[in-house]
Amino acid sequence: MRSGHRSGHCRFVALCSTLLALVFLWLPSWRGCTSIQTVALATAGVVPRPWLVASWNQHRKSSYLQKDCPWITKLQNLGNSRDIINAAIENAHVEYSPLEIQQWAEGYEVVAVQEMDPLFRAALGERLSAQLLHGDNDRDGRGIEVESTSALLLHPDSGIRPLRTEQALLQFSTRPRVTVQRDHTVVLVERPFDGRRMVFCSVHLHPPQMIERARTGYLKYLAPLRTAIERAAAGGDSAVERDSGSTLGGLGGVGCFLVGDFNVSPEEFRSRTQHCDFWNKFNVCVPDGGETASPTNPCGTGDFAVVAGSGWRGRSLGPAGFRAFERYADGIAAAANRRIQLEAALDGFERVVTGCKEKVSDAEAFQRTHHSHGGSAAPHLRTALQQLRLGRRRLKEDLARAAASSHRKRLFTSDHRPLHYVSDV
């Protein structure tokens, strides 16, 4: 009797769950906030969990020569020429604490990185870096390829698997034979725990003013990203493959999450895309916590997310104000200036040593020619030359120590704050 009672109870619960799911599906008031996928999972006894996503423009080392970097201005104000500054900054040693970077990345299912370079990849370590999805290297404002790109990291323990990957090359010409480009990777993923699917992309857009100077419309610039999103969301739909133009505007009911550095305010991005049906399917999700980028960037609020299909909440990590970045910039400038001064002093020493050697040779030649055994300046000059060489050696040691010093880059010493996002379900 007890077994039969339990069996009847289970059938009753299953029937109630099915009826409840049907009610959710058919009631108009529920359609906007409860997806069919969520209801189906709830009916099957699987409770969907929120997505946990991070994003960070980590400021690649190879961009440290850009004129907007604060150490460039500081060093110029000290009277240094740009060529000398460039040499000092290029030779600066920057390193991460791998433990800090790995602990941060381990806390998320998906990590979106902008300006991912070899330095950051090495800090991730082999285990995490093996999970990176990314496209080709960027081409900067000069049209020169740099070792930097946007990337997505799928946590190896999450079981999340990429179902489809699409590339979106955003590019324009600034002048003849000079092309600026950033390659974006759009990925449709599936999470085995609850079977949920989502399209993700790590976004790093060019500033609108730069695009407009190239006489390119903003929506035209975004068109490759739009096509890549639709193809990824379709998961291989043949109609999209045959003619993407005829099917533009569809996400196929799949959620989409674009996050990163848009280099424009959320309000301006919405204004520039509001006349496009496709982009109107998305909501802008601004992280709490104030400005996301330092004043050295084109936009102080340019890091955010654009989402479709579900609700998200985000916040900027770390303290506001970018004082840590300012201290880091002061350290970069001070170390570079010390190196510049030491190199200039060493060059001066080399000239003095060369001059003193010539004077010693002249004095010795004079002594030999005139058979002079007393009153010669040669011994005094040799003593001076010995002291100069000693000073030069000490100067070289100081320069070697300055050149070997490194700058510890941390999560909160970047000119962008890391972002933390979690979905509503």
What's the predicted TM-score (pTM) here?
0.80
| pLDDT score at 190 | 96
Rounded Cα–Cα distance for residues 57 and 293 (Å): 9
Burial 283-305, CB ≥16 within 10 A → b, else e: eebbbebebbbbebbbbebbbbb
Q: Write down the CATH superfamily of domain 52-69+76-321+413-423.
A: Endonuclease/exonuclease/phosphatase (3.60.10.10)
Domain boundaries, the chain: 2-43, 52-69+76-321+413-423, 327-408
99: left (phi over 0), alpha (psi -120 to 50) or beta: alpha
H or E element at residue 284: strand 283-285
User: What's 399-419 look like in SS3?
Assistant: HHHHHHCEEEECCCCCCECCE
Please, are residues 237 and 164 in contact by the beta-carbon 8 Å criterion? no
Mean of the per-residue pLDDT values of the chain: 84
Q: Give yes or no for residue 247 having a pLDDT over 90.
A: no
* Cα separation values, 91 from 64, 122, 400, 405, Å: 11, 19, 12, 10
The model's pLDDT over 120-169, given as tens digits with 9 standing for 90+, comes to 999 999 999 999 999 999 999 899 999 999 999 999 999 999 999 999 99
pLDDT band at 405 (very low <50, low <70, confident <90, very high): confident
Rounded Cα–Cα distance for residues 52 and 107 (Å): 8
First CA to last CA distance, the chain? 40
Environment class of 346 (CB within 10 Å of its CB; exposed 0-12, middle 13-18, buried 19+): middle
The model's pLDDT over 1-24, given as tens digits with 9 standing for 90+, comes to 444 444 454 454 344 444 433 333
> Could you tell me which of 274, 281, 220 has the C-alpha nearest to residue 249?
281
